[in-house]
Structure 1
Amino acid sequence: TDRWGRPNLASTNPDGSDVKPLTRFDDYDVRWPAMGDGRIVFQHKMDIWSYDLATGRAEQVPITLPSDRLQVRERFVDPMQNLGGWGLSPDGDRIALEARGDVFVTRTQKKGLIRRVTESSAARTKYPAFAADGRSIAAWTEVDGEEQLLLYAADNGAAPKQLGRQEPGWHFPAVWSPDGKRLAWGDQRYRLMVTDPAGATTEADRAEYEINEYTWSPDSRYLAYTAAIDNGMNQVRIWDSKTRTVHPASDKLFNAYSPAWDPAGKYLFYLSDRWFNPYLDRFEARFAVMKSAVPVVVALGADGVLPFAPRGDVDPKSEEPKSQEGKAAAKAKPAAPVRIDFDGLADRVVQVPVTPGALSGLRAVEGKLHWVETDPRGMMPADAGDDDERPGGSLKTYDLAKQKLANLADHVLGYDLSMNGKVLVYRTKDGFFRVEAGAMSAPKPDKEGGEDESSIDLAGWTERISPREEWKQMVREAWRLQRDFFYDPKMHGVDWNGVWNQYGSLADRLSSRDDLEDLLQEMFGELNVGHAYHWGGDLRRGKTVGTGLLGADLSYDAASGFWQIRKIYRGDYPDPKASSPLARPDLRVRSGMWLVAVDGKPLTKGEDYLRRLANRANQEVELSVNDSPKLEGARRIVVKPLANDTRTRYADWIHETRAYVDRTSHGQIGYIHLYDMGGFGLQEFARDYPAQWNKHGLIIDDRWNHGGFVAPMIVNQLERKVFSVSGLRYGSYLDTYPSRVFHGYLAALINGQGGSDCETLALEFKDFGLGPVIGMRTWGGWVGIRGDKPLRDGGMTTQPEFGGWDPRGRGWQIEGHGVDPDVVLDLSPDGFMDGKDEQLDYAIQDMMAKITKDPRDLPKAPPIEPRPLHASR
């Protein structure tokens, strides 16, 4: 129990009285107690302890475990599995790659040496950036446990040099000015900073959120960047390094981002969400804006001529050098000073004439623009794609003079341009590819199946790591991330430096990646907050063999040696991923039938039929079924077993519960269960609401909800009011305006296994007076997270960042307490095991009583008054 602070062992009478502490540890929790032979053994710190029930003494058990410690040995890994930031040399002939916390350099053409620039599992290096001379690389590296900006020799010819001493915190990529005299970078404090090679640092600007897009003008004087502003939009701004002043380059009305300089210094390009073409929902009166971004051009000079003007009958004279000598001179000429007239700058804008889309990553080269376009995708896995597939976007090239758009590559996960504007490298899940900057198409192999000359050859690339050093580094980084991003700067009153001393001292005892995960979870637990998670990473996992599942309950009959089908889970038939493969009507399989053979081979006595389905998921399998437990007369069918039948069983439970509510209420009450507040939950609501909107009552089951972020969308739908009622001349169907407004009684069910955004729905139900909230207090974990800063081995930690407080002065909401129901009602264990749901039954009974008293029917149409234009004579 933790009633005295940290969890300790305690004793109590069977009725819960006379609670006494048995241990009194105040440094680490008592964990995993197990009792036997007059003793209780438990974990404390990283040790095993024993508590003697007779003497009342606790003592550490001295354990020596002989082991080869295989997981702590140095080993080689595939760097591509944990690739981070990367960038090109000024001429594009080399690429710097951050992989698992270290930096490597190699060629972008033909096979070459892969040079390891940094080599330390104890300190992470991130975001490498080639200097303008191509000889140095700037990167953020941990020094004494904090990120500092270091300058490395790209050929390892000199020792690293630290550029000043930066404040502790999280840092975004550093970007060099073309003259090599400055680096720009952002941090977690929403600042834009500029550092010179001597280490002097200047704060250029501060925004309302993180600044992580910034680019230098060709002459290195100006810095264009994206800054979040006070209306929730982004604005493109320009910082003048000479005058140390900030100027807006876009207005506040439209979201603007991703600035890019014209190499000639005449224009600034950026992306802007200014095309609002609403997509109408097929079922409800709502809309979504999906493709809103267009590139725009800003003339920097007040006398500048914007592109895409009507041509007239005379072409403008070319300003390009005509002779080869002139071209060479122009090429060698240093960047001309960029002139910007800031008065009216944001108004000197014209849109690039392309179809709007979901655009990002705008860059400019001579006469061309590049950007990435992604197709809008739904939230369900079938449309969004699995995490390991990462569909990426399409890399586009736009010819400004010809006004022609081309698709350069698909499935692009990122791209970069060399500083000289000649080379472009893009990345897909298949690797890196080099093409000419401004190219309108990627080169094709000379013949089918031939070698792709554009592919950067990284074959044989490996990385030596020291796991224990990595684990110690990741403990420190995970601790820093909480320090730098936790929503409460006072860390919930916890001495966070003391927590580091407490848990960081244990890092030397880690013997496996699982130990690290356990240590991080315990460290995060000191914050007493709900969403401080850790998952993933380079965990050692044994090879497993999956089993094909039939989405059905079968029971073994010892007498016959065969298996009887007790229940077939129809689920969401005909969806094959959410229904039993036995549910197909043409198979004519029903409960009570017998499974007697698999692939024509009879099941043997005592044999589990699942053994025959091992490693057979999603493959065709022949089953022999019969009405009786025998082989004679059996019928053969072919099915594809499921890899997982959880979704099938869940969907079946939903259908049975809805049918129960419908049957019990005589069709007057609808039922919707929300699996989560993400794609699945929103899908369930979008699917189940239109068919039940005109019921007299609707129960929203928010129990066992996995959380997410869509609760406000659901509540917005439920709290709408009827403005008007309409009906057609023939038929009895009545609709509302807006369409399908629910006008009956609502109730929500909650429990302690529901948390995060499902608690938003519960509290909004109460605060907005939508209906009673029935059940038990929710989990109480509500401060929101991102999960976008992986550790060096791919593990992910989350930092609770986005809390909220009540606008009526009732303090911070939900976190640490949860949402209390209006009606406190728990499920009895015996009743629940018997299939009874007291919370659901209460909601039905309460709602039926209200419906009986006032059914809230829509009113029938009143008589229409005669309105002849002329009175009859």
Structure 2
Amino acid sequence: MYSYDLTSKQIAKHTDFKNFGLLDLDVNANGLLLLEQGGYLHTYNPSSKTLNKLTIAIATDLLEMRPRFVSGSDYARSASISPSGARVVLDFRGEIVTVPSEKGDVANLTQTPGVHETFPKWSPDSKSIAYFSDESGEYALHIKDQNSTNKAKTIKLNGAGFYAYLHWSPDSKKIAYVDNGRNLYITTVATGKTQKVDQDILYQPGEYRDLFGSWSADSNWLSYTIITDTNFEKAFLFSVNENKSYPISDGFSNVTNPTFDPSGKYLYLTASTDAGPVVNWFDQSNQDMESSNSLYLITLQNQVKSPFAKENDVEVIEKEEELKTEKEDKEEDKPIKELKIDWDGIQNRMIALPVGAGNFAALSSPKEDMLYYLSYPAHGGETTLHAYNLTDQEDEELFATDSYEISANGEKMLYYSSGSWYVSDIGKKSEQAELALESIQVKIDPVKEWKNIFNEAWRVNRDYFYDPSMHGVDWNAMKTRYEAFLPDVTTKSDLYRVMSWMFAELSVGHHRFDYTGDSRVEKEIITGGLLGADYAVNNNRYQISKIYGGLNWNPDLRSPLTEPGVQAKIGEYIIKVDGQEVKATDNLYKFFENKAGQIVALTLSSNANGSNAHTEQVTALDSERSLRNRDWVEGNIKKVNEATDGQVAYVYVPNTATGGHEYFKRYFYPQANKKAIIIDERFNGGGQLADYVIDLLNKPMQSYWDFRYGNDMKAPSASIQGPKVMLIDETAGSGGDYLPYLFRRNNLGTLVGKRTWGGLVGVLGYPEFIDGGIVTAPNVAFYNEEGFGIENVGTPPDIEVEQTPKDVIAGKDPQLEKAIELILQQLKENPPKTLKTPAYPDKTK
């Protein structure tokens, strides 16, 4: 703590804490300072220069620390069906539980409060359930006998720290899974030996990515895909015996979902040749792009004919012995044959299934010549499950579902639809009620959980943070330093506060808790209704002073007072709301409590006494943000248009994701006939890398085209060649830091305003804690020829202009005003070049 003497202008230091700095400072009426440091409160007397550590004892029931039972379907995070379909195993708030498909009781297999257990999977032979557990302090693979109370077998893992998506081999001897480092592994259960199969070359968003495709019927081969350095997926087959991978695609198409047919004759897959612009997920230019894929199969042996080959019927006389053998084969289980693959020419043996192109995923082949898959509509709508019968060559749409899993015996399926889980016969919609997840109750011990959450949050940052050296911070030491506070933690908010202190040591942006988990008592949120208007207080009434215009055909821009049939006018008084008298002494918004999305009877009058009143039926909004933002944007367009005599375009970019893409398209193209442009990226929320915006601004004029009728047209036609100014401020960050960086790097124009926020790292998905909480750990960071930068620095303007609250309240915008002044000056000094139509050619000479 320091003080500054206004007279002498001297600075004096008053405290000398070593381990923890001050977090808060206050002063009472007597001039005694109160400060927080290291979890304690201190007082400081400026007169005596004495520091006193306070001892505070509070007698309370500490309800949050009490063990309790929790229930509710929201706690079910992953589920898997048993081999016969009789039960389903779930990760339920950190415990592994099984529930009956129809009749029976819930069974908690783990009963380990304060231990986080995830991603359970039943073995095909029904004997075991595998899952991941952090019981040791690090995640390990546990194998639990489903009919035994014995302790689970533990297999230590040496991957990137976090693991997901277990896939048993058909013989129940091996398990495939992935980690957060995008590695694919196979572990042999009996020996604990682990093979690393492969790893993605490029990272994609998500806490995990499942590289796994399927197992072959003989359990000796595994299909999978990796993300290549072009962001395309490439498919491979891995031989467990050889410990070797073989490519089955060439990288020129995006190949996904490689799935073995149990016969061993075919490998099914999906492939796309137009996926390039879509799979480059970090580029904003992918926003408008669409792709489709198609279903294919590859014959794995040379002698296997295409199932779609043209047939020619011939009469065949079968011998009695052959008929007898065929009958015996049908009556007895066939032994699993070892899969043989003919690699020569395999890429030429790919055959398209006679199903039109679409968006297909989640392929599964539980029985020979049968393929199940999900079809996703391109523009919204229900995802549907399909079944393709290779023998009959028929594709059947079954029913709508979000995901599904087929039991190991191929007779039952588990599927998730409209927020509920169901078990049914394979390919059939369930006639039973949804799984009774509400009957699950698990006992939790908050104190044990808080320790687990602390450790897991620390590990998330250790294992996901982009810099393995943790910005030079001794991360192990930080764990030791801050876990010392845990014995004094008595509420969850205390826990998350302590963790915030620890994470602050990394000094990085985008570091936050996206969610702080469930609460002992969940708060009920009541939304208030809004009318999309401003009000003045006159004559003891609320008077409509402004109505925000909307686009009533767009649900996101609906303006209640301008909808068809509503006769509301500026200047009218609000007399009643749903029959209740409204006076200016009332809080106007209390009349709209819990009315969002509901019809409200609004009584209006041009007179404060309510004479000649009329009542309008309006549907209240839950937010006016979109209306007010649009009003501000179009107000700025009007200001720029009037101040520049229509010569300059104004385009606002709210973020560098979907919203920014939509805004730029909406407002840039209709103004592409202007001579110059002001791009406003203030308050930009970031998102992707704004190549879309920069590419459009960076288009040079290439030529003109003369038409017999109408004006000549420049090419590219949607381009502005004149001066460009970009407005930036301290609230724009992430992609909002990168957009002005690109603007400057490409020498596009002048940056005006304030230095941007300085958050040029990214957050791409993280696993949940046991209570559902999530902490970020920035796992991607910007750098260029000069090294890592912009993060914690921002992009500075060329011309700095302060925007004070006083200016804004007065209706002024000094930054925009400066941009207008500057661009008019630049337009005068350097107007865009134009060409006149030359003399037409004389072909007679």
Give the structure-2-normalised TM-score. Answer: 0.91
Q: What is the DSSP-based 3-state SS (H/G/I as helix, E as strand, rest coil) of the residue aligned with 2:780?
A: coil
Deviating more after overlay: 675-684 vs 773-782:
675-684
Q: Alpha-carbon deviation of 1:754?
A: 0.8
Equivalent position of 2:529 in the other structure: 548
Work out the CA distance in 2 between the residues paired with 1:624 and 1:42.
53
Work out the CA distance in 2 between the residues paired with 1:792 and 1:601.
48
Equivalent position of 2:205 in the other structure: none
Work out the CA distance in 2 between the residues paired with 1:321 and 1:86.
44
For 2:370, give the aligned amino acid: K
Equivalent position of 1:181 in the other structure: 173
Deviations 1:129-180 (A, max 9, x none): 1123212111110132100111112134322111245456111223222222
> In the alignment, is residue 853 of structure 1 matched against residue 829 of structure 2?
yes
Work out the CA distance in 1 between the residues paired with 2:230 and 2:71.
45
Q: What is the DSSP-based 3-state SS (H/G/I as helix, E as strand, rest coil) of the residue aligned with 2:557?
A: coil
The answer to whether the 8 A contact 2:184-2:212 is kept is: no
For 2:123, give the aligned amino acid: A
Q: Alpha-carbon deviation of 1:534?
A: 1.0
Q: Alpha-carbon deviation of 1:78?
A: 2.7
Superposition pairs of residues 776-787 of structure 1, within 5 angstroms: 776-787=754-765
Equivalent position of 1:101 in the other structure: 94
Q: Alpha-carbon deviation of 1:43?
A: 2.7
Q: Alpha-carbon deviation of 1:837?
A: 1.9
**Structure 2, unaligned stretches of length 5 or more?**
203-208, 279-284
Deviations 1:95-143 (A, max 9, x none): 21111111111233x2222111112231111111112321211111013
Work out the CA distance in 2 between the residues paired with 1:759 and 1:287.
20
Work out the CA distance in 2 between the residues paired with 1:866 and 1:402.
69
Q: What is the DSSP-based 3-state SS (H/G/I as helix, E as strand, rest coil) of the residue aligned with 1:639?
A: strand
Deviating more after overlay: 761-770 vs 581-590:
581-590
Work out the CA distance in 2 between the residues paired with 1:17 and 1:426.
72
Deviating more after overlay: 302-311 vs 13-22:
13-22
Highest relative contact order (Cα 8 Å, sep 6+), 1 or 2?
Answer: 2
Deviations 1:654-702 (A, max 9, x none): 1222211111111111212222222222221121112111111211111
Superposition pairs of residues 620-659 of structure 1, within 5 angstroms: 620-659=599-638
Q: Alpha-carbon deviation of 1:18?
A: 3.4
Equivalent position of 1:375 in the other structure: 377
Equivalent position of 1:799 in the other structure: 777
Equivalent position of 1:227 in the other structure: 226
Work out the CA distance in 2 between the residues paired with 1:201 and 1:328.
38
Equivalent position of 2:238 in the other structure: 239
For 1:300, give the aligned amino acid: L
Q: What is the DSSP-based 3-state SS (H/G/I as helix, E as strand, rest coil) of the residue aligned with 2:669?
A: coil
Task: Pick closer, same or farther for the CA change 1:183–1:603 going to 2, 3 Å.
Answer: closer
Q: What is the DSSP-based 3-state SS (H/G/I as helix, E as strand, rest coil) of the residue aligned with 2:781?
A: coil
Q: Alpha-carbon deviation of 1:456?
A: 3.5
Equivalent position of 1:364 in the other structure: 365
Work out the CA distance in 2 between the residues paired with 1:410 and 1:543.
32
For 2:791, give the aligned amino acid: E
Q: What is the DSSP-based 3-state SS (H/G/I as helix, E as strand, rest coil) of the residue aligned with 2:656?
A: coil
Deviations 1:361-387 (A, max 9, x none): 11112221112222234xxxxx7xxxx
Task: Pick closer, same or farther for the CA change 1:663–1:483 going to 2, 3 Å.
Answer: same
Q: What is the DSSP-based 3-state SS (H/G/I as helix, E as strand, rest coil) of the residue aligned with 1:365?
A: coil
Q: 2:81 aligned to 79, 88, 100, which one?
A: 88
4+ long deviations beyond 6 Å: 276-279, 315-324
For 2:13, give the aligned amino acid: P
Deviating more after overlay: 144-153 vs 207-216:
207-216
Q: What is the DSSP-based 3-state SS (H/G/I as helix, E as strand, rest coil) of the residue aligned with 1:629?
A: coil
The answer to whether the 8 A contact 1:561-1:603 is kept is: no
The answer to whether the 8 A contact 1:71-1:467 is kept is: yes
Q: 2:514 aligned to 518, 532, 535, which one?
A: 535
Work out the CA distance in 1 between the residues paired with 2:51 and 2:470.
33
Equivalent position of 1:5 in the other structure: none
Work out the CA distance in 1 between the residues paired with 2:303 and 2:8.
84
Q: Alpha-carbon deviation of 1:720?
A: 1.9
Equivalent position of 1:158 in the other structure: 150
The answer to whether the 8 A contact 2:542-2:583 is kept is: no
The answer to whether the 8 A contact 2:114-2:444 is kept is: no
Superposition pairs of residues 746-825 of structure 1, within 5 angstroms: 746-806=724-784, 809-825=785-801
Superposition pairs of residues 661-740 of structure 1, within 5 angstroms: 661-709=640-688, 711-726=690-705, 728-732=707-711, 734-740=712-718
Q: Alpha-carbon deviation of 1:850?
A: 1.9
Q: Alpha-carbon deviation of 1:268?
A: 1.6
Q: 2:405 aligned to 406, 416, 424, which one?
A: 416
Q: Alpha-carbon deviation of 1:24?
A: 3.1
Q: What is the DSSP-based 3-state SS (H/G/I as helix, E as strand, rest coil) of the residue aligned with 1:146?
A: coil
Deviations 1:438-495 (A, max 9, x none): x3x536xxxxxxxx23744445222222233222212211111111111111011011
Superposed CA RMSD: 2.9
Give the structure-1-normalised TM-score. Answer: 0.88
Q: What is the DSSP-based 3-state SS (H/G/I as helix, E as strand, rest coil) of the residue aligned with 2:132?
A: strand
Q: What is the DSSP-based 3-state SS (H/G/I as helix, E as strand, rest coil) of the residue aligned with 1:433?
A: strand
Q: Alpha-carbon deviation of 1:788?
A: 4.3
Q: Alpha-carbon deviation of 1:288?
A: 5.2
Task: Pick closer, same or farther for the CA change 1:84–1:392 going to 2, 3 Å.
Answer: farther
For 2:701, give the aligned amino acid: V
Q: Alpha-carbon deviation of 1:358?
A: 2.2
Aligned pairs, number: 825
Q: 1:514 aligned to 485, 493, 496, which one?
A: 493
Q: 1:201 aligned to 194, 201, 210, which one?
A: 194
Work out the CA distance in 1 between the residues paired with 2:523 and 2:286.
48
Q: Alpha-carbon deviation of 1:205?
A: 3.1
> In the alignment, is residue 11 of structure 1 matched against residue 3 of structure 2?
yes
Q: What is the DSSP-based 3-state SS (H/G/I as helix, E as strand, rest coil) of the residue aligned with 2:602?
A: strand
Task: Pick closer, same or farther for the CA change 1:525–1:373 going to 2, 3 Å.
Answer: farther
Work out the CA distance in 2 between the residues paired with 1:316 and 1:819.
80
The answer to whether the 8 A contact 1:261-1:267 is kept is: yes
Q: 1:429 aligned to 415, 418, 439, which one?
A: 418
> In the alignment, is residue 64 of structure 1 matched against residue 57 of structure 2?
yes
Work out the CA distance in 2 between the residues paired with 1:153 and 1:465.
23
Q: Alpha-carbon deviation of 1:276?
A: 6.5
Q: What is the DSSP-based 3-state SS (H/G/I as helix, E as strand, rest coil) of the residue aligned with 1:479?
A: helix
Equivalent position of 1:328 in the other structure: 331
Equivalent position of 1:471 in the other structure: 450
Work out the CA distance in 1 between the residues paired with 2:491 and 2:86.
40
Task: Pick closer, same or farther for the CA change 1:188–1:642 going to 2, 3 Å.
Answer: closer
Q: Alpha-carbon deviation of 1:496?
A: 0.8
Work out the CA distance in 1 between the residues paired with 2:527 and 2:434.
36
Deviations 1:51-103 (A, max 9, x none): 32223333332222222222232233234203222222233332211111111
Work out the CA distance in 1 between the residues paired with 2:662 and 2:599.
30
Work out the CA distance in 1 between the residues paired with 2:364 and 2:663.
41
The answer to whether the 8 A contact 2:142-2:155 is kept is: yes
Task: Pick closer, same or farther for the CA change 1:745–1:320 going to 2, 3 Å.
Answer: farther
**Structure 1, unaligned stretches of length 5 or more?**
1-8, 280-284, 378-382, 384-390, 444-451
Superposition pairs of residues 376-455 of structure 1, within 5 angstroms: 376-377=378-379, 393-412=383-402, 414-437=403-426, 439=427, 441-442=428-429, 452-453=431-432, 455=434
Work out the CA distance in 2 between the residues paired with 1:744 and 1:152.
70
Work out the CA distance in 2 between the residues paired with 1:513 and 1:428.
33
The answer to whether the 8 A contact 1:38-1:54 is kept is: no
The answer to whether the 8 A contact 2:567-2:616 is kept is: no
> In the alignment, is residue 249 of structure 1 matched against residue 248 of structure 2?
yes
Q: Alpha-carbon deviation of 1:858?
A: 4.0
Task: Pick closer, same or farther for the CA change 1:115–1:325 going to 2, 3 Å.
Answer: farther
Q: Alpha-carbon deviation of 1:337?
A: 0.7
Work out the CA distance in 2 between the residues paired with 1:543 and 1:16.
54
